[in-house]
Structure 1
Amino acid sequence: MAERLLHRVTREALTNAARHAPGAPVVVELTGGPGATVTVTNGPATEPGSAHSGGGTGLLGLRAAVTAVGGTFEAGPHGGGYRVRAHVPERAGRPSAPSRAPSAPFTRARRRVAAALGAAAGAGVALVAAAAGWYAYIETHAVLEPAAYAALRIGSPLTPLALPDRQIQDPPSDRASAPPEGADCRYHRASGELFVSVDHYRLCFDDEGRLVAKDVVPRAGARRSATHEEFTR
């Protein structure tokens, strides 16, 4: 299983590097003990990349697969390029020797307690899984592709615009500049990758439903540039 996971991570990272950073140097490192870690790092692109940026769903699936076996997964910008790192732990351990059987009353009581704790833990896991699934559904259905954002024109009415059917639930308004007075603004993610900070697009409409401002809200830690903003004149 560890070998298959590491192979999948390496293949996906190399595919993404070829698609989004063509011509960039790529370094693949494999280390071990205990477990194994693979790191795929690419530099900045030296040739034009693919016009379709994708939503990061391949990396999202790998993150879920690696963490499901107790591993760790990281993916994000690194030194002007991009780095993907996955660690799969070593599967070790032997079954312990059987202990002396306890008395029957104590065994029944222990089983009842274990069953109650198991039911409570199962309910908690189900709630967490449901919450995580709903969060993933909302966030991935609020992604506005960069090409679609670039095609938006100031003054366009809201109705014919091909926008995602949902907005994000926790907009990064603290990192955004002041919106136009009286405008109604909506936020969309620029990437479908979850549980990491990504850029957001903010679209502001006037009371007649026309686009009056569009700007990029940088991910946490990124520096804002004036070229990110476009307002109606």
Structure 2
Amino acid sequence: MDRLRRLVDSERAADLLLWVVIALPVLLSGDVPLWLRIAGVPLLGVAVVLSRRLPVAAPAVPVAMSLVASVELFTNSFTLAMVALAFLMGRRTDGVRGALVLFCTASVAGLVPVAVLGVTLWDWFTLLATVLFALVLPWLLGRNRRQYAELVRTGWELAERLESEQTLIADRTRLRERSRIAGDMHDSLGHELSLIALRAAALQVSPGLGEHERAAAGELRQAAATATQQLREIIGVLRMDGEGAPVLPAGDTVEALVARAAASGMAVELVREGSGGPLPPMADRAVHRVVQEALTNATKHAPGAPVTVTLVWQAETVEITVTNETPPPAPLPGPGPDPGPSPSGYGLVGLDERVRLAGGILRAGPSAGGYEVSARLPLAPGAEPTPPSENVSRRELALARLKVRRGTLAAIWVPITAVAVLGVLMFGFNLYTSYRSVLDTDVYDRLRTGASESDIEPQLPDYELDDNRPPDGAPAAPQDSDNCRFYRTGPHTFTPAYRLCFTDGRLSHKDMVEIAP
């Protein structure tokens, strides 16, 4: 039952449902050729699979099939697939370069029929509108959704870190109280040690070893034992709750830590760039803690993901970076291998303090689908601690909010701007064609029926009245004509219009007709 529930909630079930939804219009609609419908269903399945690993390539599949079916790109069969996969592209990718390449490629590809097949620019304008509303707008909405999800995730991270900071405050309070207790015990221990000194002095000046001296020696032994016991109690009081004795040697290295993680089953690799001498003690322990904490977090939050530990030596600093990739999907995820203990238990908050006291800077956050923790530390011994940085979570939350606001504004102004630009282009082209579709009266009067179409062609305007096809509301063509052309009588006049009809390649009719509104 649990396996069935996992299967229903799995990515495969979601992909299968998406495939069914976007394939239904292909099966039900008849606006594309049969062979394209037969090939389109499995190709859309491939696009759904690609949307996980290559989100930018997924919408290109229905775009290519739509271009094959229509130079205007808009089809009832593939438009839903373009909308859905473009939304997922924005939802699953952070960059914009790949999406812009796709949009520009689709737009430029629409110019090929204009140049090769003689299709008018009006079809290309329709293609641009389809790119805008079926690709760009869903992509913007997907980006906005992803940024909102990042905002929610960052908010929860901020809450967790604030809770961790509250825990740290409580721990500091307990430590201060323990310090007071240790001070009291120190006074008591000093008193006992002073008694030992007195007994030792009495034993030293004693002229012989009688019963008195032996009693003094016994008292000395007892005082020493008491002091030793109190010293043991002080060590126990100062140790943190639940913290055992150190397990790893004090001189443990990053290489040994990575080797233990690899031996336990983690896919981890150590990369060294440059070389340098031994690090200062504070920097050396900080580097060790960065690697230890990052590997521990990787096993907890990204089990099975490859991890790369990079140690870069520079002139005055050393930089350690731990990056884990996106964990592979697993139907039954289990706990990953544990590279080692995490002594502090404070996570990134305590780690930032450790790096700061060593004079370095810590950075942590998502990176290319995974997570990255890096620290830069000075090589000079005795480096001054860096000033406390601003709250990382609050900065990330503010950045996430800014991204959401920008994404929302982009989802509003980009379509509006694109529609305005497209409208200006269409208006300009319409104005241009209105002047270029006017048939001069003198030319019309010189045309004689029976003349060949090839002889008349050079005298005619470049464009016809309505996109090289009979306009709506035009009278029916003569029965014996093959085709009729319509031209304007003036640049701003739609009716009446000149009509030239041809039969077997020769002008058979010429007249002025009214175009019904």
State TM-score, norm by structure 2.
0.19
Which structure has the larger Rg? 2
Larger RCO (CA within 8 A; separation ≥ 6): 1
Bigger share in helix? 2
Bigger share in strand? 1
